[in-house]
């Protein structure tokens, strides 16, 4: 059975739950989506999708634990340490998604001759992901080096 593309863009969209992705994953060997209407599809492997969804599920449980800590009036430093752990876990999920995007979508865009459009979309996403100026500069430097190494391969 062929996977139906799910579209996503930088515009607000309807909420797609993790459960629906897990259900879709069980029905298909992969999950695909296009980066914008009429764009080329990006397919997440079953392993990759499972890895991302499992990490997000653990993060979800961790956040419930933090909520419990707050309700129990646990010491602020303990709560802040757990919040930092969740932020780190979310950053690792973002890294997995970014790595996959670079290895698939950027390479495809290079071959199809629309790398500028792909980089513009990625920069727009990184602008929202890396809010602090210092982080934004680091993200752009990181992105530039990864794109260069990906294209060079």
Residue 36 lies in a domain: no
Longest pairwise C-alpha distance within the chain? 56
What pLDDT is stored for residue 62 in this prediction? 97
The count of structural domains within the chain is: 1
The closest alpha carbon to 147, from 124, 113, 118, 127, belongs to 118
Residue 2 lies in a domain: no
Residue 10 lies in a domain: no
Residue 29 lies in a domain: no
Region 41-55: what's the mean pLDDT?
83
Query: In which domain, by residue range, is 53 found?
Result: 43-152
CATH code, 99? 1.20.58.1000
Residue 30 lies in a domain: no
Residue 6 lies in a domain: no
Residue 143 lies in a domain: yes
Region 53-75: what's the mean pLDDT?
98
User: What residues contact residue 101 under an 8 Å CB cut-off, 6+ apart?
Assistant: 42, 122
41 band by pLDDT with thresholds 50, 70 and 90:
low
80 band by pLDDT with thresholds 50, 70 and 90:
very high
Residue 13 lies in a domain: no
- Strand positions, DSSP E, the chain: 6-7, 30-34, 41-45
pLDDT in tens, 25-39: 444 444 444 445 445
């Amino acid at each position: 059975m062929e996977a139906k593309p799910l579209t996503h863009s930088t515009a607000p969209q309807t909420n797609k739950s993790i459960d629906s992705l897990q259900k879709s994953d069980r029905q298909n060997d992969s999950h695909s989506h296009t980066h914008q209407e009429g764009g080329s599809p990006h397919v997440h492997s079953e392993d990759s999708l499972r890895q991302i969804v499992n990490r997000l599920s653990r993060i979800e449980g961790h956040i419930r634990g933090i909520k419990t800590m707050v309700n129990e009036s646990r010491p602020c430093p303990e709560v802040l340490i757990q919040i930092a752990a969740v932020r780190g876990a979310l950053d690792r999920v973002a890294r997995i998604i970014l790595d996959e995007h670079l290895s698939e979508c950027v390479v495809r865009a290079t071959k199809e001759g629309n790398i500028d459009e792909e980089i513009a979309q990625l920069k727009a996403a990184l602008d929202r992901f890396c809010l602090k100026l210092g982080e934004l500069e680091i993200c752009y430097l990181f992105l530039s080096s990864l794109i260069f190494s990906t294209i060079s391969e």
